[in-house]
Amino acid sequence: MQRDFRYGTLAEIAHRPWPMPAPPWVMTQTWRDLLFAHWPIDPDALRARVPLELSLDLYDGRAWVGIVPFEMTNVAPRLAPALPGVSAFPEINVRTYVRMDGKPGVYFFSLDATSRLAVMLARRLFRLPYHLASIEVRRGGSGTVDYRSRRRHGDAAFHARYAPAGAPSEPEPGSLEHFLTERYCLYAVDEANHVSRVDIHHEPWHLQPAVADVHVNTLARAAGFALPAQPQVLHYAKRQDVVNWAPTSVRE
């Protein structure tokens, strides 16, 4: 399985909100054909679903929930070859935005993927709430993506048809688009309420306006809250090459 990871992304650092970590990064990933579907939500409605150790990160007084379907390739440990069935698979996540110790990041309510090994390792090594799912991705003309996901256990499902609807551009610092996408770490909290942070690095996002018809979405309901049928804010990104570091403890 041939890798096409763009290592030049490691040299693009001027946009980062803090320096890259000193230890070596541990893994590569390439994210493809992403839809960023976002809904504003009352912070009080979200607070009970996010560990108290993490502060909600708000934009103009509102919290935001995102559902992000995409496909991953080049998933491999540093210097390791890509492997069929392990290094490429579709994924969809449900997320919100948090802060801890002054660093804004992402908190995941769930991540669904088709790779049994990736789900097992992410749960064990990164403390992330991954679930095994059946996902079908079909591509059509004009960049259209038909994305169907159903979790193997339970009724968490998602079906949307989406496509880019404009030229790509970098989000302006301070804009909502920048707030929702330019994040360089994620947080996880284990059963003992210990917080870990996973730093990531990528080039600035090149976002396109998007259109989407969401036909089925029970992912948020499975996480314990309700969202309107259609998202309020939509963006598309063709590709992003990413490296991540091993989890580090933030606070015992």
Residue 8 lies in a domain: no
Q: Confirm whether 171 is domain-assigned.
A: yes
Query: How much is the pTM?
Result: 0.95
Structural domain includes residue 164: yes
**Rounded Cα–Cα distance for residues 92 and 112 (Å):** 5
Residue 9 lies in a domain: no
Q: What is the mean pLDDT of residues 119-148?
A: 94
Q: How much of the chain is in helix, strand and coil states, percent to nearest 5?
A: 15, 50, 40
Place of tokens 């990064």: 25
Residue 2 clears pLDDT 80, i.e. is over it = no
pLDDT on residue 129: 96
Give residue-wise pLDDT tens across range 80-130.
Answer: 877 777 789 999 999 999 999 999 999 999 999 999 989 998 999 899 999
Q: Is residue 102 part of a domain?
A: yes
pLDDT more than 90, % of the chain: 87
- Residue 29: predicted pLDDT: 96
pLDDT at 243: 97
Residue 7 lies in a domain: no
- Of 94, 93, 75, the closest CA to residue 84 belongs to 75
The reported pLDDT for the residue numbered 1 is 53
Specify which residues 235 forms β-bridges with. Answer: 36, 209
pLDDT of residue 191: 87
Cite the DSSP H helix spans in the chain. 43-47, 116-126, 176-181, 219-223
Contact 217, 230 (CB under 8 A): no
Q: Residue 16: pLDDT band by 50, 70, 90 thresholds? A: very high
Query: If you average pLDDT over residues 18-32, what whole number do you get?
Result: 97
Average of per-residue pLDDT across 176-190: 97
Return d(Cα 64, Cα 98) in angstroms, integer. 10
Cα 246 to the center of its chain, rounded Å = 17
Total domains in the chain come to 1
CATH number, position 240: 2.40.400.10
Judging by beta carbons within 10 Å of its beta carbon (0-12, 13-18, 19+), is residue 8 exposed, middle or buried?
exposed
User: What integer best gives the mean pLDDT of the chain?
Assistant: 94
Within a domain: 17? no
pLDDT in tens, 219-241: 999 999 889 989 999 999 999 99
Integer Cα distance of 46 and 94 in angstroms: 13
Contact partners, residue 97, CB within 8 Å, separation at least 6? 56, 57, 59, 63, 64, 104, 105, 106, 107, 179, 180, 183
- pLDDT greater than 90 at residue 252: no
> Whole-angstrom Cα distance, residue 48 to residue 44?
7
Using CA of residue 106, residue 192, residue 51, residue 67, what is the dihedral sign?
A: positive
User: Is there a domain that residue 6 lies in?
Assistant: no
Range of the domain at 44: 25-251
